Chain A
Amino acid sequence: MVSALLCIRLSYRKLEKMFFKSGMKKKIDEMSQSHSRGWQGVKDSLVRFGQNRAALVSSFVLLIFIVIAIFGPTLAPHDPIKIGIGPRLTPPNKDFLLGTDQFGRDVLSRVLYGTRLTLQASIIAVVVAAGIGIPLGLIAGYAGKWTDNIISRFIDILLSFPGILLALIVVAILGTGLGKVQIAVGVSLIPAYARLVRGSVLSAKENVYVEAARAGGCSTFRIATRHILPNVFVPLLVLTTTAIGWAIIIATSINFIGLGVQPPTPEWGADLGAARSYLGVAWWPATFPGLAILITILSINLIGDGLQNALDPRLKHRAVIEK
């Protein structure tokens, strides 16, 4: 594990160097020089994000994973499902870069194919969570009284279960399968969205500008969506990045225990789960999917941190530092 982390640290260093050589840094710096009003704030945030090296390199890593997710099938050297492409449990060599698993399937191809499933599952889950959680929080916060009470108690019930357990319950109700895992993970993330939005709405709606908007003839819906929701935008963006990380953890965990996608579908969590019994004789079929999960979540979380710092208005005075 330590060596794996060291590996990541080293590769980060390399990527960082690559990035600074590639001139992207220069471009971002140039962008901050141009003075078109309105976009200035966005640019400042971008520059601040760019100065956070961990976040910057993480976005680069995530970008690579996204490319893999899109082009994985063309990049993969072998068929990921076909059994006996090579000898069983061959260690990494030049034919099978990451070795073969217990059925003689190519681990590299399976990891590449799995990228799409894992990322797709987490993004759909977050869309489900945001799509249900944001309106719920908005309604609860803005309507108040008994509406708020009903919605908040419902959210409290959801919150009383740990995320994975909640997802497991949904899987138990809906049954196994990729689509159902996505919904299950989505449901387990609803409380995070609903609570964040509700809290922000509660504090935002006390502002005089909401009263002023009402005096200007705005409808309740318009006030909620145009005046209050933008106030929640930054925390929502940060939550969404971290939520994708959580979604990957929960989704791969469900797959790990075999309640999600069914074999022989290549998926990181499922592969990790299937290969763990052979860990004593062969480390590679379990390690590489696990490493993929680790790196993805780490980059997503670092991006989340970077976004939080870059978009926090209280840090605005910490103006762009010239290198």
Chain B
Amino acid sequence: MNKKTVLLNVRNLHTTFHMMRGKIKAVNGISFMIERGEVLGMVGESGCGKSVTGLSIMRIVPYPGRITEGEVLLEEQNLLELGEKEMRLVRGSEIAMIFQDPMTSLNPVLTISRQLTEAIETHTDIHRHEAQNRAIELLKTVGIPSPEKRIHDYPHQFSGGMRQRVMIAMALSCYPRILIADEPTTALDVTIQAQILELMKEVCEKIETSIMFITHDLGIVAGLCQKVAVMYAGRIVEMAEVEELYSRPCHPYTYGLLTSTPRMDRRESRLNPITGLPPSLYEPPSQCLFASRCAYVEDRCMAAVPELEMIGERHTVACFRSNDNLW
């Protein structure tokens, strides 16, 4: 992992939902890169566009959403220009995705075997029997005991944690180069969470898969990711290496997120929540969208949208006052 090459390059991506009442700009011009073998964390509160970003990269944004602008470059190939057939070859084999709720993301009427071998059969020339062997191998890798027997079971015979392991096996079955994990541990209890995260990290290192980890849990990000992007109202407001971001947050929103998280190393009787609600994304005004909730707001924040600016090596932030040492 000494050679740092850009694997996925998202440039100025816009995804808009065309509703009866107007347009919702769920993803509003975001750009980021994922390097080979890197784990990028995407954090932000509910509805800030994290999941839609993931779906946009896979090009499976549900109706009435549409990608209206931008580029998603996988190495040199712009995924947004591919035909639906070519895109299908990318899904699952180049970029795979794990969803939030393991209870509903497996088909209840098909055996684990059929669901696991499906991806393998779709993307390779391997025959059913061999695919079955590979599926058993995969289940062993993700730590399912006696996989030869369990592979013929149905999803309801598995616990939540086991199902998420199966989902990971399924996502990694074709050794994808990028894994988009959309809050894969949110529905699990804490001890299982730790196991699943450890497993993901381990397996992805083994097959050199980069991860885009979507979550709202800053603790997980600190333990798992190398780089973090903080999203707010459809935009990335700050992006940096994990340690840099946690020790020197430069956007008031990032600062707010960090101070509203309980910490083991400090004694605080109360947490400091960020007051107010995120703005509606129907035709957002051209101003800093965090302005209404920001304690450090100035006149210029209400006049224009701050662009992402480099303020250090690999540290960008979208705030007019990032140099003011506010806290």
Contact = CB atoms under 8 A, between A and B. Distances in A.
A215 B153 contact: no
Given A38-B152, A217-B123, A212 B105 contact: yes
Interface residues of A, number: 21
Interface string A199-237: 000000001110111111111001000110011010000
B150 to A, nearest CB: 9
Nearest to B93: A217
B204 interface: no
B311 interface: no
Contacts of A222: 122
Interface in A24-70: 37-38, 41
B90 A217 contact: yes
B253 interface: no
B99 interface: yes
Contacts of A215: 58, 60, 91-92, 96-97, 99
Contacts of B110: 226-227, 230
A217 B105 contact: no
B119 A216 contact: yes
Interface string B89-111: 11111001101110011111111
B211 interface: no
A216 B122 contact: yes
Nearest to A207: B104
B294 to A, nearest CB: 35
B88 A219 contact: yes
Contacts of A233: 109
Contacts of B106: 209, 212
A208 B118 contact: no
B118 A212 contact: no
Contacts of B314: none
Contacts, number: 75
Nearest to B94: A217
Contact of A218 (B96, B108, B111, B122): B122
Contact of B152 (A37, A207, A214): A37
Interface string A279-302: 000000000000000000000000
B288 interface: no
Contact of A227 (B99, B107, B153): B107
Contacts of A227: 107, 110
Nearest to B95: A215
Contacts of A213: 107, 118
Nearest to A228: B107
Given A207-B104, A208-B104, A212-B97, A217 B109 contact: no
Contacts of B60: 211, 214-215
Interface in B68-103: 88-93, 96-97, 99-101
B188 to A, nearest CB: 15
Interface in A66-119: none
Interface string B118-162: 110011000000000000000000000000010011100000000
Contacts of B97: 212, 215
B107 A37 contact: no
A217 B87 CA distance: 8
Contacts of A212: 97, 99, 105-106, 167, 170
Contacts of B92: 215-218
A221 to B, nearest CB: 11
A37 B149 contact: yes
A323 to B, nearest CB: 27
Contact of A211 (B93, B99, B109, B153): B99
Interface in B167-203: 167, 170-171
Nearest to B149: A37
A214 B107 contact: no
A37 B90 contact: no
Contacts of A226: 110, 118
A167 B184 CA distance: 54
Given A37-B149, A37-B152, A212-B97, A217 B91 contact: yes
Nearest to B180: A215
Nearest to B88: A217
Which 9 A-B pairs have CB atoms at the shortest separation, nearest pair first? A217-B92, A217-B91, A216-B92, A215-B97, A38-B152, A208-B104, A208-B105, A209-B107, A230-B109
15 contacts: A37-B152, A207-B107, A208-B105, A209-B105, A209-B107, A211-B62, A212-B170, A215-B97, A215-B99, A216-B96, A217-B91, A217-B119, A218-B122, A231-B108, A231-B109
Interface of B: 58, 60, 62, 88-93, 96-97, 99-101, 104-111, 118-119, 122-123, 149, 152-154, 167, 170-171
Interface of A: 37-38, 41, 207-209, 211-219, 222, 226-227, 230-231, 233
Given A218-B122, A227-B110, 18 more contacts: A37-B153, A41-B154, A208-B105, A209-B104, A209-B108, A211-B99, A211-B105, A214-B91, A215-B60, A215-B96, A216-B122, A217-B89, A217-B93, A217-B119, A217-B122, A218-B92, A230-B107, A231-B108
